[in-house]
Structure 1
Amino acid sequence: MVVYIVIIYVFVAILDPYGLLKRGMKRDFYVCSVLYLISFSLAFALSMHWKIPSPSPLIENLIKRLY
């Protein structure tokens, strides 16, 4: 499963952001790259069956502080 995820992400990394750099959209390229790396790290961790902490307690605390 890990091999499939790595192959798919390499394929997408080669094809997806190339057009942004070609058109001179550097800021969009950087945002796309950061989101891509976050997505890849989460997909890789899930495929390795690593436990990922839930962000819901942080969100709940933030909402409570706002109200």
Structure 2
Amino acid sequence: MAIYTVLIYAFIIVVDPYGLLKQGQKREFYVCSALCLLSFGLAFSLAMHWEIPSPSTPIVGFIRKLF
């Protein structure tokens, strides 16, 4: 399953963000690359059946401190 994830993301990386770089949109390219890297990390973690911690506890703590 992890091999499929790597192959799919390799295809996405080759096709998707380089059009932005060719058009001179460097900032959008960097944002797209960062989000793709984050997405790949999460997808690979799920494919390897690693436990991903829930972000809800820090978010709830932040909201309580805010109000």
TM-score by length of 1: 0.97
Instruction: Flag as ranges the 4+ runs of structure 1 deviating above 4 A.
Output: none
Stretches of structure 2 that go unaligned for 5 or more consecutive residues are none
Q: Does 1:17 align with 2:17?
A: yes
1:18 CA displacement: 1.1
Stretches of structure 1 that go unaligned for 5 or more consecutive residues are none
Fraction of identical pairs, as percent: 60
In the TM superposition, 1:55-66 aligns within 5 A as 55-66=55-66
In the TM superposition, 1:31-50 aligns within 5 A as 31-50=31-50
Aligned-partner residue type, residue 57 of structure 2: P
1:13 CA displacement: 0.1
TM-score by length of 2: 0.97
Task: Please list the CA deviations of residues 3-44 of structure 1 after superposition, one character each: whole Å capped at 9, or x if unmatched.
Answer: 111110000000001110010000000000000000000000
State how far apart, in whole Å, the 2-side matches of 1:55 and 1:44 are.
18
Aligned to 1:7: 7
Task: Please list the CA deviations of residues 31-60 of structure 1 after superposition, one character each: whole Å capped at 9, or x if unmatched.
Answer: 000000000000000100001100000000
